[in-house]
Amino acid sequence: MNLSDDQKFEILKITYQERRKEIAFPRDRSFQVTSWMVGIFLALSAGTTAISKELSSYLIFPLFALCAITTIYLHINYKVYCERLNRVADIEEALQFFENGAFVKEKSLNPSDLRIPKVNRSGTWVYIFAIWVSLTILVIQIWSK
pLDDT tens for each residue of the chain, 145 residues long: 677 878 878 888 888 888 888 888 888 999 999 999 999 988 888 877 667 777 777 888 899 999 999 999 999 999 999 888 888 888 888 877 777 776 677 777 666 776 677 777 788 899 999 999 999 988 888 877 6
84/99 Cα distance (integer angstroms)? 22
Predicted TM-score of the model (pTM): 0.77
88/25 Cα distance (integer angstroms)? 14
pLDDT at site 114: 67
> Residue 49 gets which letter from DSSP?
G
pLDDT at site 109: 67
68/84 Cα distance (integer angstroms)? 25
Pair 114, 63: CB distance under 8 Å: no
